[in-house]
Structure 1
Amino acid sequence: MNVHSSFDLMSQPQLEPTLDRRTQILDAALVCFAKRGFHQASMHDISAEAGISVGLIYRYFANKEAVISAMADRHKKEIQEVLERAQQAPTLLESLEILFTAHCCENSPNVLSAFVVDLYAEASRNPQVANLVRDVLQTSMDGVTDLIARSPEGKNAAGGLAPDELSELIFAVARGMFALAAIVFFRLKAPTAGAIFATLALFLALADVKAFQFRKMGASPMMMPPTTVTSASVKEEDWPPVLSSVGSISAVQGAVVSTELGGTVSEIKFQNGGEAKKGDVLMRLDASSEEAQLHTAEADLELARADLQRSRDLAARHVISKAEQDASESKFNRLKAVVDQMSSMISKKEVHAPFDGQLGIRQVNVGQNINAGQQVVPLTALDPLYVDFAVPQQELSKLSNGLEVRLHTDAMPGQEFKGKLTAINSMVDAVTRNITLQATVQNPDHVLRPGMFGKVEVELPEKHKTLVIPGSAISYAPFGNSVFVIEKKKDEKTGKEMEAIRQQFVRVGEARGDLVAITDGLKPNETVVSTGVFKLRNGMPVTINNDLAPKPQINPTPIDS
């Protein structure tokens, strides 16, 4: 039997020879269960405590569960008797005191407290014991509830609590006292019970006050203060459609200047990283041997010229034959070709800039013996430059030469370089299905260099109005994206105008920098919450403070990027 409250405890009468055997066995079982617990106590322990044989016990009870069941039946009868006595008391608290004193201040209350605590534990594991406890407890609570309902003060006690609610409250206090008695082993006497019920009366009075406070709070519900938010206006802007891609910068004219002939470097005529004009001498090789050979060839050429002149005079007077004149002319032409060849070789000993541009870092040194084809220095024309990039093939029909192109690179944050689309490849890449494009951009300050990459945007000719808001104003969710629109509303109670939010589902378009296009759901000039939307809910009052609001940009340049 599980007694769930103060008056759930069973009394233990003193064992006398005149008591019948069932009562003798039940009283002995109560002591054993309190000392050793339900599981540790055995039928032999009960027989020893009762002073009878085990066989005699089994004549009355088949097992320990049957003993508990008999205890429950006996206790229910005791409860009915005590309830009848309590109904004769003039006040509710006196009635409860009779119940409490009868069950916890008589007949070894410490034993009963320990038994009750162990029985509660057993009921949590054993469904059969739990049902017995529940049955006894319901009998007790029904009796106390009826007692409260009959009393005049019970109808107004504890702030209007119903009789069954007040009964549950009393049982909760009683259970706590029995648990404490089982732990610290103090004896519950009549004066103690009176003190407990005085405390219970004070508790019920405080409960009455708190209930009044709760009812007052319920009559005038507390209003949450307005939430501070930042705001942004829904703007209508011209956003021409663009095709975005990532491209590489290359030179319109660029080469690594090399030598045509080998030799020893005798002079370098440029500075690393300097500028060069077309035709400037960049480097000279040692040409002293070729120059000596040129002098010899020139001397031979002069002799051949004189011989040719004499041959022409003699041939005119028919002194020599035509064949001898032709031989002189052939010799002259051959020696003239030798002189031209030597002059060409000497000129090739000088390396010239093929176009205007900026030089790089030289790769040769004075005195170095180099071979033909040796790289000397890079030379690049930096204005204008090409940007090579690719777009999907489905965009091909929108493209044509002359479209405006914008280039941004992280090497020059905040700068925009403009140009034109100048070439469309004749073939689509069979692997990526992209088509390669080439744009020409101006680079007057020479800040862009070949080999850089950048973000390329091709602006298409058609334009349309677009509603844009900061990207931070959008609450992204699987069931739909939404924003919170700030509207003026009147307070239904005070009549004052206030600002409140309304959740509005939207369709999101493309994003450019910090801004996002809205294709459906908003109207121009509406005001939306721009930050902190995760903490908001529909209908909340808000107050706007844009002192620290971020400034959205179409081309943001974060300081830590």
Structure 2
Amino acid sequence: MATRALYLVVAAIGIAGSGFAAWWWQKPVSSPAVVPVVEAGRAQTGAAKPVSVEVAVVRTVTLRDEVQAVGSLRSRRSVVLRPEVSGRIMALHFRDGALVRQGQLLAQLDDQLPKAQVQQAQAERSIAQANHQRNQELVAQGFISQRSLEESAANLEVAQAKLALAQATAARLRMVAPFDGVAGIGNVHVGDYLKDGTDIVNIEDIDGLLVDFRLPERYQRQIQRGQTVRITLDALPGAQYTAMVQALDPQIDANGRSLLVRASLDNRNGPLRPGMFARISVELGLRSDARMVPEEAIVPQGNAAIVWKFEPATDARSGQVRRTTVQLGLRRDGWVEVIQGLESGDSVVTAGQQRLQKDGAKVQLFVPAAVGQPG
């Protein structure tokens, strides 16, 4: 019995000892020697590492303030010959694509009936003239009254009017060139019966050409008559022509809010043809102090644009950046004009902006950006 009680006491002591050992093992260790290591680690991770960036210098260049437009070449004068009356073609006096002179007869319609009417009117006028002349002599001698003389004068006027009408009717059957130019390709042949208004041939004056183009209404004060514009054509790559502004439409197009401009250019013995597609460059000004930065430096931010301005330290290979709002102007070949916000010689970040979070961030230069010169 005593032995059994002893066993129970030993078992209770063993269980209690195991529980105490487990509690002691799980107790957090607080060693003074470890604290400096942890604190040192925290201090090391709290130090910000400089961000590697690329920068470019703001350059000052001479910049042409230009606006681009498109248009089509037109003849200085152009007309399509059409008969005013119906009739059959009796003769054609032009060759397709040949030069024609002002007043040259190009097409003749059948005029036999009008010619007969002219002859009849001429005969009636001759009779009226003779009667009126005889009456003048008789009145002078007192054989007839003044009223008879007035009637003969009126008859002469009627005969002259009939002759003029017959001649005008005959002239409408003759189609002549209204100006010097080049005949197009004819659409009719001798013997064809034409109704009034049928196209016969077009005449083009291509010694001088016109080009019409439209500009946004905000440029209406910057363009004026006599100003020169540059023209290039897709059909003639590499060639450039100069035209002069001839007229400005006094009315702004309400649909597109644009201004219609007409320019003229000399084409004597030139290769240009009406209908060619033209690209027009209008120079509105020339600035010799334009500040340009690479497009990569611009960071859109809402409706504004910013750049990260680099402020070098003493070693010039590291420094800090500042967020700067800029006002942009023209774009040329990967470069952007900065109107406000930067000065010539400033440096801006062109790569690595996505890792910049706040003003004063520490940076170090990686490799200077390799970009071309602004155009």
Correspondence for 2:211 among 368, 384, 387: 387
Q: Matches of 2:335 and 2:282 in 1, distance apart? A: 18
**Offset of 1:297 from its aligned partner?**
2.2
Change in CA separation of 1:262 and 1:553 when aligned onto 2, cut-off 3 Å: farther
1:452 matched residue in structure 2: 276
**What secondary structure is seen at the aligned counterpart in 1 of 2:143?**
coil
Query: Structure 1, residues 117-167: CA drift from partner, whole Å, max 9, x if none?
Result: xxxxxxxxxxxxxxxxxxxxxxxxxxxxxxxxxxxxxxxxxxxxxxxxxxx
Structure 2 residues without counterparts, runs of 5 or longer: 1-57, 301-305, 308-325, 346-364
Within 5 A, what are the aligned runs for 1:336-355?
Answer: 336-355=160-179
Within 5 A, what are the aligned runs for 1:401-412?
Answer: 401-412=225-236
Change in CA separation of 1:539 and 1:476 when aligned onto 2, cut-off 3 Å: closer
**What secondary structure is seen at the aligned counterpart in 1 of 2:286?**
coil
Residue 92 (structure 2) pairs with residue 273 (structure 1): no
**What secondary structure is seen at the aligned counterpart in 2 of 1:294?**
helix
Question: TM-score normalised to the size of structure 2?
Answer: 0.62
Partner letter of residue 193 of structure 2?
A: N
Q: Matches of 2:135 and 2:162 in 1, distance apart? A: 21
Within 5 A, what are the aligned runs for 1:533-544?
Answer: 538-539=366-367
Correspondence for 2:126 among 291, 302, 305: 302
Asked whether the 8 Å contact 2:63–2:286 carries over to 1, the reply is no
Q: Matches of 2:223 and 2:155 in 1, distance apart? A: 65
Within 5 A, what are the aligned runs for 1:312-351?
Answer: 312-351=136-175
Q: Matches of 1:393 and 1:409 in 2, distance apart? A: 25
Asked whether the 8 Å contact 1:392–1:433 carries over to 2, the reply is yes
Residue 264 (structure 2) pairs with residue 440 (structure 1): yes
Change in CA separation of 1:475 and 1:432 when aligned onto 2, cut-off 3 Å: closer
Q: Matches of 1:273 and 1:368 in 2, distance apart? A: 21
Asked whether the 8 Å contact 2:83–2:197 carries over to 1, the reply is yes
Correspondence for 1:255 among 79, 82, 87: 79
Greater shift after overlay, 435-444 or 414-423?
435-444
Question: TM-score normalised to the size of structure 1?
Answer: 0.43
Change in CA separation of 1:519 and 1:334 when aligned onto 2, cut-off 3 Å: closer
**Offset of 1:314 from its aligned partner?**
1.4
Asked whether the 8 Å contact 2:330–2:337 carries over to 1, the reply is no
1:463 matched residue in structure 2: 287
Asked whether the 8 Å contact 1:388–1:439 carries over to 2, the reply is yes
1:413 matched residue in structure 2: 237
Change in CA separation of 1:475 and 1:396 when aligned onto 2, cut-off 3 Å: closer
**What secondary structure is seen at the aligned counterpart in 2 of 1:367?**
coil
Asked whether the 8 Å contact 1:273–1:360 carries over to 2, the reply is yes
Q: Matches of 2:148 and 2:367 in 1, distance apart? A: 118
Structure 1 residues without counterparts, runs of 5 or longer: 1-233, 483-506, 525-536, 543-550, 555-561
**Offset of 1:353 from its aligned partner?**
0.9
Q: Matches of 1:399 and 1:522 in 2, distance apart? A: 30
Q: CA RMSD in A?
A: 3.5
Q: Matches of 1:252 and 1:331 in 2, distance apart? A: 48
**What secondary structure is seen at the aligned counterpart in 2 of 1:448?**
coil
Within 5 A, what are the aligned runs for 1:158-557?
Answer: 238-464=62-288, 476=296, 510=330, 515-517=333-335, 519=337, 538-539=366-367
**Offset of 1:376 from its aligned partner?**
1.6
Query: Structure 1, residues 456-515: CA drift from partner, whole Å, max 9, x if none?
Result: 11112433256899xxxx785886999xxxxxxxxxxxxxxxxxxxxxxxx997556xx4
Asked whether the 8 Å contact 1:250–1:451 carries over to 2, the reply is yes
Asked whether the 8 Å contact 1:387–1:438 carries over to 2, the reply is yes
Change in CA separation of 1:552 and 1:343 when aligned onto 2, cut-off 3 Å: farther
Bigger Rg, which one: 1
Asked whether the 8 Å contact 1:403–1:461 carries over to 2, the reply is no
Q: Matches of 1:298 and 1:553 in 2, distance apart? A: 80
**Offset of 1:308 from its aligned partner?**
1.8
Asked whether the 8 Å contact 1:466–1:517 carries over to 2, the reply is no
Q: Matches of 2:255 and 2:152 in 1, distance apart? A: 68
Higher strand fraction (1 or 2)? 2
Q: Matches of 2:373 and 2:181 in 1, distance apart? A: 40
Total equivalences in the alignment: 270
Partner letter of residue 454 of structure 1?
A: A
**Offset of 1:374 from its aligned partner?**
2.3
**Offset of 1:434 from its aligned partner?**
1.9
Query: Structure 1, residues 294-340: CA drift from partner, whole Å, max 9, x if none?
Result: 22222222222222222211111111122222222222222222222
Identity over aligned residues, as a percent? Answer: 26
